[in-house]
A and B are shown apart, each in its own frame.
Chain A
Amino acid sequence: MNVQYQYDFFQHVPSIVVSLLNYLIFGLIIYSLYKRKKDKITLWKVVLIAFIGGILFSINLNIFHSFFQIPILPIGVWLLYWICKKRFGKIGWEKYRSFAWAGFYIKFIFIFTSFLIYPIDFLIYPKDELKTFITDIKQPQIIRTIPKVNEVELENSKLVHTVNTFKINELFKDEKWFARTFQSETKMKPIERFPYILVGTKPKFGSNLKTIIYIEKDGKGIFITTKDKHYYFRSDTNIISPVKGGNNHVKK
């Protein structure tokens, strides 16, 4: 019943929303079926039957940024059929049959609802805005990741005030950098373009974004990687300043 996705379910608001929608659909369909039936069956039994009917063997696909299940074998329905026939005979099964199958068929509706997760995510968590990735700056710390650059600290307020001036950008647009880093045969390659990692910030609530945030050498670029995508933001404001005492590790 739960919508699975590549996100941690409880930390991802769009998945939760769609899952609630699924429960609503499930409830409405089962209840209207129940109303139409004249047989004396209790409601909780019907819900349970429909729920078990939804147990199935499925093929799971991950396309169009969405994860969804395509029902193949109605294992729950078979199980119920077997149990009911043993306990109540053929007539007993007739009473519950439609609910068991409803539980199975509702899963096909869920295929369509799972297509909603990505657009909702796209709307509330736009990936072309830095705000989505850096919303909360509580205890920021900058980790220098290569020794050849200065030790710096974050200009907290500057980042807060200029977060909207950071515009999404093409990382490989800097052709000179690209050529010297990846295509030149010489051993003298430019030093790392993003030698700082920013920790201690939080992404927008409910986005479930797991990222590593890098800061460009000149302090005007922010480069963000997730497990399979990267985002590069650029602004005119420098958000870092050198730590006094040069290369010494002053702030710990």
Chain B
Amino acid sequence: MLKNKKTIIGLSILLIAFIIIYWFYLSKPTAFYSEARLKKIISNTYEGEYAKEIQDIIFIDQKHVFVPYISKENGYGVSFWKWQHHKWKIVNIIDKAGTPRLWKIKPNDPSSYVMFWNYNPVDQVNKMKFRLIRERNYMMSNENVYYVPEIFLEKRISLHKKTYGFLKYPSKWSKIQKLEAEAGTKQNLFFLQEHGYPSTLSISMTTYDKDGKEVFPEASVNGNDYMVEDELFEYIMYADDKDFIDRDRNY
């Protein structure tokens, strides 16, 4: 009898553990929040922010959602949501999203990275350009010679009359980033730097109006973040096109 009792207790503990694991980690996401609910959550989570209008609800994948919104102060903001522990959780809110954010959905897998933005229409942003750059570099010490070739990749996109949008990491970029993580330069190597930058990959961007003229998004930058998981987000800094003009070299 006693043995029987023990088995039953053991089995029920196992069952409960299984249900808990299933419930918190494996279950399929439920329906996403309604617009009214989203506005409420954004306004309640981020003190002083009031979401006036939800612009769109975009599923990046089954468990990650991008929600651009407009605030009462006419800020063009973005919010990020994630299905975790059987709940739709808000991961980040940015009240003005003119400085795009890189969301590392799976930090170790660059092919999961996505970049997001939202521009106030007064800034007239119509096109964007993203760059992935690594400066060329070389090192020479008495026993070691080491050269790092340059990488300069660009991705141009059009906003298609929308104020907001996102760009999944191009496959070229994620391949290079993976290589760099696996076999990139040891960070403690001493380099004679060509431009004074470290020899690592960096991302920058530029915005243009509908005629292709560079415009700085004055009204959309300097936003504030309400961050919950900040290690998963990165700023993508603005850079003027003229910073890269001296790259037009010939041999």
Contact = CB atoms under 8 A, between A and B. Distances in A.
B17 interface: no
Contact of B138 (A182, A210, A227): A182
Interface in A89-134: none
A228 B147 contact: no
B194 interface: yes
Interface stretch (A29-37, A47-55, A186-194, A234-242): A186-194
A193 to B, nearest CB: 7
Contacts of B150: 145-146, 192
Interface string B165-186: 0000001100110011011111
The 9 A-B residue pairs whose C-beta atoms are closest, nearest first, are A190-B251, A210-B183, A187-B246, A194-B149, A192-B150, A145-B151, A146-B152, A227-B186, A189-B249
28 contacts: A143-B172, A146-B150, A146-B152, A146-B153, A147-B153, A172-B140, A172-B145, A188-B249, A189-B249, A190-B250, A191-B250, A191-B251, A192-B150, A193-B149, A195-B149, A197-B176, A197-B179, A210-B183, A212-B180, A225-B148, A225-B185, A226-B183, A227-B185, A227-B186, A229-B144, A230-B146, A230-B147, A252-B171
A143 B175 contact: yes
A69 interface: no
A74 to B, nearest CB: 33
A228 B249 CA distance: 29
A4 interface: no
B144, B183, B185: most-surrounded residue (chain A CB, <10 A): B183
B189 interface: yes
B104 interface: no
A214 B192 CA distance: 21
B52 interface: no
Contact of A230 (B145, B151, B154, B179): B145
A212 B151 CA distance: 12
A171 interface: yes
Contacts of A146: 150-153
A169 interface: no
Interface residues of A, number: 33
Interface of A: 141, 143, 145-147, 171-172, 180-182, 187-195, 197, 199, 210-212, 214, 223, 225-230, 252
Contacts of A192: 136, 149-150, 152
A166 to B, nearest CB: 18
Contacts of B194: 182
A212 B146 CA distance: 13
A18 to B, nearest CB: 24
Interface in B164-218: 171-172, 175-176, 179-180, 182-186, 189, 192, 194
A188 B250 contact: yes
Nearest to B178: A199
A143 B194 CA distance: 24
B154 A147 contact: yes
A251 to B, nearest CB: 12
A48 to B, nearest CB: 31
B151, B153, B175: most-surrounded residue (chain A CB, <10 A): B151
A50 to B, nearest CB: 38
Contacts of A193: 149
Contacts of B148: 225
A193 B152 CA distance: 13
A252 B251 CA distance: 29
Nearest to B251: A190
Nearest to A217: B251
A219 B138 CA distance: 22
B179 A199 contact: yes
Contact of A228 (B149, B151, B179, B189): B189
A141 B174 CA distance: 14
Given A172-B147, A225-B147, A227-B184, 18 more contacts: A145-B149, A145-B151, A147-B152, A147-B154, A172-B140, A182-B194, A190-B249, A193-B149, A197-B176, A199-B175, A210-B183, A212-B179, A212-B184, A223-B147, A225-B146, A227-B183, A227-B186, A230-B147
A191 B149 contact: no
B182 A171 contact: no
Interface in B233-251: 246, 249-251
Contacts of B250: 188, 190-191
A195 B182 CA distance: 20
B152 A171 contact: no
Contacts of B154: 147
B47 to A, nearest CB: 45
Contacts of B192: 182
